[in-house]
Copies of this chain bind each other. A is one copy, B any other.
Amino acid sequence: MKLILIIELLGVISFAFSGAVSAMQKRLDVFGVLIITFITAVGGGTIRDVLIGSFPVEWILDLNLIITILATYIIALFFHHYLHAYSKIIFWMDTIGLTVFTLVAITKGLQFHLHPIVCIALGTVTGCFGGIMRDVLLNEIPYVFRKDIYASASIAGGIIYFISAWITSNHNVSSFIAGGAIILIRVGAKFLNWRLPLIYTKDNPEE
């Protein structure tokens, strides 16, 4: 139980930090940065709880979560001089957040007796929506739709979780395998230049 809480907080910290950095790169004022930090960190989980009907949504009753986000925000503000070094960290932050949020949502979906396909969709929505909200609020086409392999890593991780759970019948083992797979897919996409199959004709080769 304890371990799960720590892992979940790690995901929240990752997304909070990623939100704070994105907002500072857009040069929002300190409270604009606070709001983006907060929404990036709790957005995915809020959508998850709303969709399955778990109220009040998680962060409303979880003071630890709020304090963790505030602490992350203050630390990000303090180190804003190193913003240029953050783009490398952001990749890892987003990857950890995606992995944690996908698995937490699948676990919660199973507790609500949802079908595996629905659990996978829930995992993807939870993993992606914090970042989507962040980008929409900063008036950009969501990162998720543009760069690297992101939503697809979450979907693949969800599928791997259920295959693994079917074979091993063990939630923890399956979670670790699926989590490892998500991280590996993200790393492969980043450093080995994996690409999704192109579906468009060649007449716009620059895209």
Question: Cα distance A76–B15 when bound, in Å?
Answer: 33
In the complex, per-residue mask of A167-207: 1 if CB is within 8 Å of any chain B CB, else 0: 00000000000000000000000000000110111001001
Question: Cα distance A116–B205 when bound, in Å?
Answer: 53
The 10 closest A-B pairs by CB, nearest first: A53-B55, A32-B145, A31-B152, A31-B151, A53-B56, A139-B141, A29-B196, A28-B145, A52-B56, A27-B207
Assess A139 versus B139: contact at CB under 8 Å? Given A28-B145, A112-B56, A151-B32. Answer: yes
Mostly, the A contact residues are helix
Question: Cα distance A31–B63 when bound, in Å?
Answer: 35
Contact B51 A155 (CB under 8 A): no
CB distance from A198 to the nearest CB of B (A): 8
So how many copies of this chain end up in the complex? 3
* 29 A-B contacts (beta carbon < 8 Å): A23-B145, A26-B141, A27-B200, A27-B204, A27-B207, A28-B145, A29-B146, A29-B152, A32-B144, A32-B146, A32-B151, A35-B124, A35-B144, A36-B145, A38-B121, A46-B51, A50-B50, A50-B57, A51-B57, A52-B55, A53-B55, A56-B114, A60-B118, A66-B121, A77-B199, A81-B201, A137-B142, A139-B139, A139-B141
Assess A35 versus B128: contact at CB under 8 Å? Given A51-B60, A199-B77. Answer: yes
